[in-house]
Amino acid sequence: MREIYLDNNATTMIDPEVFNLMQPFLQQTYGNPNSLHRFGQATHKALNEALNKLYDGLGASELDDIIVTSCATESINWVMKGIYFDEILNKEKNEIITSSVEHPAVLASLNFLEKKLGVKVTYLPVNSEGTCNVEDLKDAISDKTALVNIMWANNETGMIFPIKECASIAHEHNALFHTDATQAVGKIRVNFKEVGVDYASFSAHKFHGPKGVGGLYIRQGLKLTSLLHGGEHMGGRRSGTLNVAGIVGMAEALRLANLMLNYENSHIRKLRDKLEDEILKIDDVSVIGNRDNRVPNTILASIKGVEGEAMLWDLNKNGIAASTGSACASEALESNPIMEAIGAAPDLAHTALRLSLSRFNTEDEIDFAAEQIKKAANRLREISSTYAYSPKEM
């Protein structure tokens, strides 16, 4: 059976070139980069080269800090909790503003600050495109705002947020700005300096790097209370022996992804658009967000009359790996702004089917996937008497 992977926003295949480059650091060049002997010196050199690639690839100056972490979740938790210690505890400021469609790494961290530590969190609504309006941020922000947090690209819809404008509004009000760039890095051009963010989080496995390694960009001169105390690793900002193979892999993956950006924006976008056009031919299917304002690889399609898990199961059985947003029960709908944004009817089952491509997908795969999705939708609608699907009633 063919196996077609269309779940690259969940994780990606490690690029073979990245894998090859990492291997020596697992068995031959395994010294601790902080050790003074030749084993340590060898890894130290590789580490410095990798860090330089990260600075270049993310548009950071050498005066900024890029701290290697274990994943974007760690980077995000660090910013949210660090801001509490640095900006909220014992200070006048007591508010964090965020978009309401952030990844759970953000929303759960903020929920913790809200419930356990009494921080005021303001959630900006999203518009029908699934992004937030700059005007809503202008209305919400005040001199009590410590941090504005807006993702660069949404993991479900792929929609790109106006982070340059949001960062500038935050700064006008003396608030700090963090962006979760996890779904942007490697898919669109990312230059942290140019967009003026204070902090930015990312994860290597989203751009064909290894799992278990990510990073946090900290703009020049900004403090951030550390979460991991111990040795003097990463300039004392994050302790723990460095994952050299992972860092070498992440840096090379970033270099390759940046080299491939034109390809991403032409070839992958073309395949994505082709798949989207085919899916839109199915009755009662809509796709959230203008495709020109999305990262080039992502589609979030609402397919009415089909239950999400049944759809994934059917596709999986036929060789297609995709993923779904929250199942559409009315309660879930109320609590899921993306579902609201796509205008899903609360009383009817629907699938929010996420298809996310990569540079390893071929046109032939996309044609096959489109066919399978059409067949699955038809098949499931036929058998789904439970949901009483009828196009005329919608």
Residues near ligand PLP (CB under 6 A) are 71-73, 103, 105, 151, 155, 180, 182-183, 203, 205, 214
Q: Least separation, in Å, of the C-beta of 151 and ligand PLP?
A: 6
Q: Which residues contact 62 (CB under 8 A, 6 or more apart)?
A: 55
Q: Catalytic one among 71, 132, 166, 328?
A: 328
Beta bridge partner(s), residue 66: 217
* DSSP, residue by residue, 137-192: HHHH--TTEEEEE--SB-TTT-BBP-HHHHHHHHHHTT-EEEEE-TTTBTTB---H
Distance CA 96, CA 100 (A): 12
- Residue 180: CB minimum distance to ligand PLP, A: 5
Closer residue to ligand PLP in complex, CB, 73/145: 73
Instruction: Output the six-digit token pair for 153.
Output: 């690209």
Instruction: Quote the tokens at residue 251.
Output: 């840096």
Q: Nearer Cβ to ligand PLP, position 53 or 103? A: 103
CB of 348 to ligand PLP, least distance (A): 28
Looking up tokens 């919400």 gives 140
For ligand PLP, which is the closer residue by CB, 43 or 155?
155
Q: How far apart are CA 224 and CA 217, in angstroms?
A: 11
Nearer to ligand PLP, 183 or 243 (CB): 183
Structure tokens of 83?
A: 């801001």
CB of 276 to ligand PLP, least distance (A): 20
**How far apart are the C-alpha atoms of 240 and 85, rounded to whole Å?**
21
Q: For ligand PLP, which is the closer residue by CB, 72 or 366? A: 72
71 is catalytic: no
Catalytic residues: 328
